[in-house]
Amino acid sequence: MNLNPLVISDQSKHHKRHFSAPSHIRRKIVVLFFQRAETEVRPSIHARQEGR
């Protein structure tokens, strides 16, 4: 699996890199982030069940 250095899993580092980058780099970061989100399978968050 090839990891892209522009995509970071740590939210605070992603925020810092995104907002301190020039606009042409920001576009790449956003596109790569959404591509990664589409391919990742994330478990859905279930509502709390009654009776617990």
The amino acid that residue 40 corresponds to is: E
- The model's pLDDT over 1-52, given as tens digits with 9 standing for 90+, comes to 456 665 556 777 767 776 787 888 878 877 887 787 777 666 666 666 665 5
- Give the per-residue SS3 of the chain: CCCCCCCCCCHHHHHHHHHHCCHHHHHHHHHHHHHHHHHCCCCCCCCCCCCC
Q: pTM above the 0.85 mark? A: no
pLDDT at 12: 78
Do 18 and 29 touch, CB atoms closer than 8 A?
yes
Given this model, what pLDDT does residue 30 score? 79
Give the pLDDT confidence score for residue 17 in this predicted structure: 73
